[in-house]
Structure 1
């Protein structure tokens, strides 16, 4: 196996993982969790 083929495979796999992370963060199912996490710095602890 040529090193360039291996580099191409790693690039494609990394790109697919990147797209999966983007899809996961934009999912409506996770929106409530991310909105709650975004408000953590502003939460008043009494």
Structure 2
């Protein structure tokens, strides 16, 4: 086996890995988890606002 055969095998393996990642990403079972993860920054903002309101109410 020469170097070009190994390069071809590596290319095929990389392509299979790419297809696997795409399949995993766009799987219907993963949608809810990804949606929850996408909304995490907004959930933190709401919690922070509630903390500020609570501290402001006791500080006056």
Give the TM-score of the pair, scaled to structure 2: 0.71
The residue aligned with 2:3 is 3
Comparing both chains, which one has the higher relative contact order based on Cα–Cα distances under 8 Å and sequence gaps of 6 or more? Answer: 1
5+ unaligned residues in a row in structure 1: which ranges? Answer: none
Residue 41 of structure 1, CA deviation: 1.2
SS at 1:30 equivalent: helix
5+ unaligned residues in a row in structure 2: which ranges? Answer: 51-60
Q: Tell me which protein shows more helix as a share of its residues.
A: 2
Residue 17 of structure 1, CA deviation: 0.5
Q: How many residues align?
A: 46
The residue aligned with 2:40 is 40
Any idea what the Cα deviations from partners look like across 1:1-46, whole Å, max 9, x if unmatched? 1000000100110010000000011000010000000011111335
